[in-house]
Structure 1
Amino acid sequence: MKTAVVILNWNTRDFLGKFLPPLLDSMPEGAEVIVADSASDDGSRELLASRFPQVRTILLDQNYGFTGGYNRAFEAVCAMEGGEEMEYFVLINSDIEVSKGWLEPLVSWMDTHKDCAACAPKLHSYFEKESFEYAGAAGGHLDRFGYPFCRGRVMKKVEKDCGQYDSPSDVFWATGACLMVRRSAYSGIGGLDARFFAHMEEIDLCWRLQLEGWRICVVPESLVWHVGGGTLPNDSPWKLKLNFRNNLLMLQNNLALTYSLEEIRELTPDKAASKAIRRAASTIRFRMLLDGMSALVYLLTGKKACFKAVWEAHREFRAMGRKPQEERVREYASTHRTIAIPALYPGWIVSESLLRGDGIFEHLRKRI
């Protein structure tokens, strides 16, 4: 088993019944589909046992979320017969439609680009087949305040795929809806941050991988279609809370280290670490101010549940956060000074999107 394609399922029985058969049919030699079930109570386990007895399953005792579930699934796969030979681990949602030949370009890319830790296909909408899908489109970037956007998706604007992103490309992050990761790289950084539970975790993973010198890529020869909202609907206040909270956790995980790579070019390690931590704290405070403005808009427009979600996100961030330690940042900057600095987009994507309207995509293609 060179490649393990793992669905982490929680109460998506109907998606398994619909999308698992074509996924199984698409597997080339050396790849295997495995389903890890997060204690579903909707008949998912019974469906797997009766209709797909050939599929190896991992039965988790509870729902550990996307992060805890996949970390446990990865460990279980490695312990399976044949798991010691696995090189690549594919995280794939149960609401992904694939066609034959989607996996081979990803494997080939990883085989020939040993400095790439993770890659993903282009992500199209299941409902509008020629349009990109919100969750990842043609690969993602992150602006200076931590707002994510994609090639092909900015805020709620989505492009049709006219071949404008048909060349393989380095990106800041790739979608967790369908993501191939190199086993050694995933293990090397400790996998997904379990505190996140769900949402923003793949961006954090990709950022941490880049901080260790790895590349993140999109391989457009591979294409899949995503339903989206299979576990949590897009208007869920809980989903909103997770996004706001985890965005702050992600910034706290990575900003100081990223800034230290800039500062070490001009300063001693001690001064570089101190300045990087101050800069990171300042950016996070400003991001929290922007969040507060969003919360006020929710309140003024009668969306009290959304207002509460942002407030709870900040409260949980303060309780769960881990401030960067100066000693660690200093050591990191001293030992990693030669790697490429993860390229945050220098603008604020929210204001640029509002000002440029549909012209934002052409603007970004010239800058990224």
Structure 2
Amino acid sequence: MTTPDGPLQPIRAICVTYNSGAELDGLATSLRAATAAPLELVFVDNGSTDDAPERVAAAHGGRVIRAGENLGYGRAANLGAAGADQPWLLVVNPDISWEPGSLDVLVAAADRYPRAGSLGPALLNPDGTVYPSARELPSLTQGVGHALFARVWPGNPWTRTYQARQESADSAERPAGWLSGACLLLRRDAFEQVGGFDPAYFMFFEDVDLGERLSAAGWSNVYVPAARVTHVGGTSWRERPARMITAHHTSAERYLHHRYDRWFEWPVRAAITAGLHLRLRLELRAAHR
């Protein structure tokens, strides 16, 4: 298909799967209505015990890469991006449902922002509320305070300030510090320039780290709320809460230690470790009730 500006540029859509089941067909079906551009659908499977990726890929003209083990999210997404010649890479969770035309809205926004390395849509919860998917990089006080206390002390001042700023910006197209990796359109040149996702993050915070590295390399991360998707909520998280909670805290510790890695910031790192380990124990206890 062509537009007044010429043919639509092709996109490689990369979906990391892990026992995702029926979610995959919903994703693939909605993706076809989300863009008129040529679309290559690639499932990177992290060790599923069923044949859902193959069945859905066959029905929708996609293909499957079986990793043979659970590589984690970022490393598997890098595998799906390897060898791509399309100018656009779409990294998307299995539990995402697209509104018609929304992927084309993201690509059109990228034409307005030639230095956009990543673009993200409005990420809706199943009840229609907007999830805060475009955020600023954490400052020392607000970021650490929110990370340590948001779950155990929801009314803490750092979280209140963060949420107030986020809610006021959810309707505006704007640059952001980072965008949620649940649904992320990437300019392939930018993604390759920074080396893709850091494979050291098994799950969680790989999107925060990527947004920071894109910014450091001179690219921007742009939130485009005119493009809309619904995040249903993954089965892999619900069935394995303890593993996911542990992975989240491990990645948070890694990221925050990296942010504050100078020698004289060792007290900050020590406080981060102590606070996150305490929060991890509390959340694991709650998950087992």
TM class by shorter-chain length? 0.7 to 0.9
User: TM-score, with normalisation over the residues of structure 2?
Assistant: 0.80
* Maintained 8 Å contact 1:8/1:37: yes
Secondary structure at 1:219's aligned position in 2? strand
Report deviation, 1:240. Answer: 1.5
Determine if the alignment matches structure 1 residue 43 to structure 2 residue 28: no
* Maintained 8 Å contact 1:117/1:209: yes
Report deviation, 1:2. Answer: 3.0
Determine if the alignment matches structure 1 residue 284 to structure 2 residue 269: yes
* Maintained 8 Å contact 2:253/2:276: no
Instruction: Name the CA shift for 1:297/1:49 in 2 (closer, same or farther; >3 Å).
Output: closer
Match among 10, 21, 36 for residue 18 of structure 2: 10
- Return 5+ residue gaps in structure 1 as ranges: 257-276, 307-368
* Maintained 8 Å contact 2:27/2:95: yes
Instruction: Name the CA shift for 1:234/1:124 in 2 (closer, same or farther; >3 Å).
Output: farther
Structure-2 residue corresponding to 1:335:
none
> Separation in 2 of the partners of 1:251 and 1:216?
20
Report deviation, 1:98. Answer: 0.5
Matches within 5 A, 1:293-308: 293-295=278-280, 297=282, 303=286
Of stretches 241-250 and 41-50 in structure 1, the one that deviates more from structure 2 is 41-50
Report deviation, 1:182. Answer: 1.5
Instruction: Name the CA shift for 1:50/1:163 in 2 (closer, same or farther; >3 Å).
Output: same
Report deviation, 1:9. Answer: 1.4
Match among 121, 129, 135 for residue 140 of structure 1: 135
Match among 34, 37, 41 for residue 29 of structure 1: 37
Matches within 5 A, 1:96-245: 96-126=96-126, 128-129=127-128, 131-133=129-131, 137-141=132-136, 142-144=138-140, 145-146=143-144, 147=146, 165-233=170-238, 236-245=241-250
Of stretches 161-170 and 20-29 in structure 1, the one that deviates more from structure 2 is 161-170
> Separation in 2 of the partners of 1:238 and 1:106?
33
> Separation in 2 of the partners of 1:234 and 1:202?
23
Report deviation, 1:12. Answer: 0.8
Match among 247, 251, 266 for residue 246 of structure 1: 251
Match among 57, 60, 70 for residue 64 of structure 2: 57
Instruction: Name the CA shift for 1:164/1:71 in 2 (closer, same or farther; >3 Å).
Output: closer
Secondary structure at 2:235's aligned position in 1? coil
> Separation in 2 of the partners of 1:11 and 1:235?
12
* Maintained 8 Å contact 2:87/2:187: yes
Match among 75, 79, 85 for residue 72 of structure 1: 79
> Separation in 2 of the partners of 1:305 and 1:181?
38
- 1:24 maps to a residue whose letter is R
> Separation in 2 of the partners of 1:235 and 1:214?
36
Secondary structure at 1:48's aligned position in 2? helix
> Separation in 1 of the partners of 2:169 and 2:257?
34
CA deviation string 1:43-82 (max 9, x = no partner):
2144235533x2233333322111111111110xx2xxxx
Instruction: Name the CA shift for 1:298/1:236 in 2 (closer, same or farther; >3 Å).
Output: closer
> Separation in 1 of the partners of 2:67 and 2:203?
16
> Separation in 2 of the partners of 1:40 and 1:295?
27
- 1:223 maps to a residue whose letter is R
> Separation in 2 of the partners of 1:11 and 1:295?
25
Matches within 5 A, 1:355-366: none
- Return 5+ residue gaps in structure 2 as ranges: 1-8, 151-158
* Maintained 8 Å contact 1:24/1:33: no
> Separation in 2 of the partners of 1:237 and 1:39?
19
CA RMSD, Structure 1 to Structure 2 (Å): 3.0
Of stretches 290-299 and 170-179 in structure 1, the one that deviates more from structure 2 is 290-299
Greater share of residues in strand: 2
Aligned pairs, number: 265
Instruction: Name the CA shift for 1:168/1:298 in 2 (closer, same or farther; >3 Å).
Output: closer
Instruction: Name the CA shift for 1:34/1:50 in 2 (closer, same or farther; >3 Å).
Output: closer
Instruction: Name the CA shift for 1:21/1:163 in 2 (closer, same or farther; >3 Å).
Output: farther
Pair member with larger Rg: 1
Instruction: Name the CA shift for 1:14/1:296 in 2 (closer, same or farther; >3 Å).
Output: closer
Secondary structure at 1:167's aligned position in 2? coil
Structure-2 residue corresponding to 1:270:
none
Sequence identity percentage: 20
> Separation in 2 of the partners of 1:62 and 1:304?
26
